[in-house]
Chain A
Amino acid sequence: MNLIFKNKRISGVLAVVPSNEVCFDDEVLNYDFPVDTSVKLKHIMGYGKRRVVNGDICSSDLCVHGMTYLFENGLLDKNEIDALVLVTQTPDYILPPTSNIIQGKLGLKEDMICMDINQGCAGYLLGLIESFLLLEQPSIRKVVLLNADVISKKVSCQDRNSHPLIGDAASVTIVERTEEDTTIYATIKMNGGNAFAVHIPAGGCRRPSSPETAQLFADESGNRRSLDHLVMNGGEVFLFVQKQVPPMICSLLEFAGQSKESIDYFLFHQPNRFMLVKLAEKLGIPMEKMPCNVVERFGNSSGATIPVAMTYNLGDRLTRESLNVCLAGFGVGLTWASMILQMGNMRFNHLIEY
């Protein structure tokens, strides 16, 4: 589905990563990989260092930390926030919504909307789409979009498929209206028929967590996880991305009346280096235009990898100049979405630690 948004802009992006860093080299013994395989994995998938929360730090903690930082540094006025949209798959509780908890912790005004959205790798895109839609209301002038996940809590440390690449992160994105004549082009598709390609079997109402669901078992490749853990069919997800994402980007470019060459940066969700290299090859995009360094420096934190890639790779540049950017997210759902927008003259665009 193609979407158009007029007179909207992103005026600031802050990424928050845990200060706790773990290295693939230190963990490699846990996985029982032959040395050759781990060297190959590092090289092909981009395994390196990743950031994961320690102890009981939750999604709301990372968000509150980021927003408090913005308040204290005069980059955001708490009274101006008319809507708080939180995209997460790891809420603090099943209920209440984590966005309400954050509103309460920060003492935001009552006259506002708080909303949780459950989406993963494409969540940043869906969050932006929702934020733009909210801004159609005259009463809503500024939306704070939060995208946070502490997915490391849901991945088995004996799962070689997922554990070496997973990271935790949050982001705070300020979305508002602008007098400038801007047009943002977006496209989004979903395939719930393949919803279980990436999922956590237990812990919801369908199968509540119990001592049985916490039992570790080995899959055919020798990965040990429980029903409470995230499970991903890597091959299926890979093929889904390679089949769906390149045509999506081509059709979005056509919809926007723009060429590949007119895009300064392709800031895509960062599943692993391998998938991004394959996407760049298929799309005929030079790697300089498609950063793929988030997994090796921070880990894959689901939807938040896009703001992490944005702040880490472009940083202050976006406060000084304006760039034509193509964003794309794909994964859990299955959901795939992309967006072309002019980004720049932002108040802030950087990364802090929790």
Chain B
Amino acid sequence: MKQEHWIVTEDWPARPAPYRHGGNSLRDVLQAWLFAAGIVGACGVVLFGPAALLIVGLSIVSAVAADFAVSLLSRRPVIGGLAHAALTGLLLALTLPATVSWYVPVLAAFAAIVFGKGLFGGLGHYIWQPALVGRVLVQFLFSQQLSLFVALPQSPVLAPGRLLIGDVHQARPIDMGTYRGWSAYRRQSGSDAWLMDRPVQVLRRFAEGNVSSDGKLLYEPLIRDCLPPWVDTVLGLVPGGIGETCSLALVVAGMYLIYRGYLRWQLPAAVLAAAAVAAAVLPVQIDADQGGGYDWLPILTVEQGRAVGLAYVLHHLTAGQLMLGAFLLAGDMIASPMRPRGQIFFGACIGAMTIFMRLYGILEGECYWSILILNPFVALIDRRLKRPILGLAAA
């Protein structure tokens, strides 16, 4: 090449080192997270039909609109594009059931963006995961639609032929005692959809001692008569939030993020491990006609030669919310500690607190609450778990 190429360079920028960049950008991070959450959202749409699509769409659109409005009002440019608002809306939609009214995701998304993100100064400055802020605010406002205790005790599940299409005219409650799993039920009953208790709700009732035991057996009636088969909870064929139920999709989404390097494996591993240990150890109440009292170390229980304690712990892990919290909600970069060590502590607290609140608490959405409770401690965890500085430790 000739000299003219060289002469182009009259004003080289006198920049400070380094002169090359690794190539990661906020855009990449947000796109990867959007993709991962999109996997789970797509599974939710398949499982819950067009109603779920409407909720997801409304939530994303209103979150983006809210972010736009906030940036207009505060006269501050939107940082990282609208991708972060879309991600917040998507994550928010994943926590909502498909049966909520249209205005619930809209209000929740506005609340998430305004109170969770905008008031703190936007991306990078918030303390609480914004999607969860929106979720718990609407939980107070619309507790009848979201909460499990009051008006709507049961939620629908679509039958095999109605996946993705929806088109359900009526849904009947079913008797869990004779329920033998999702695919088997359709064959015997022929219905399009049916109403079931959420597994989380069943586990909460069980922890309160409200599941009647069968003679000497304590866990067997729970697992046999009240809960759907465990495989159904892994595949997401149980009622619940749009993104809460399908543990398989959540694991795949989490693996994708870990592979891309935008989520450290230590965080979800710590959440799940701590939850498993808590569920294995924390006592459950035995109902009064069995003599009352508590059953410690549920995992060691063997009834009729079956390791029901282990099944009980597995049901706790996949019952919903915990997987979503572990893989997508707790790992939000801004609202989680920086170092793997801090993330292990943070995740372990979330997992243990989730199970504790599920067994003994009254708040619905226990995993979301534990993440929100732990979020303000992130700065403290970061400060306490600093790396030792080379040369200062010795001196």
Say whether A and B bind each other. no
Residues of A at under 8 Å CB distance from B?
none
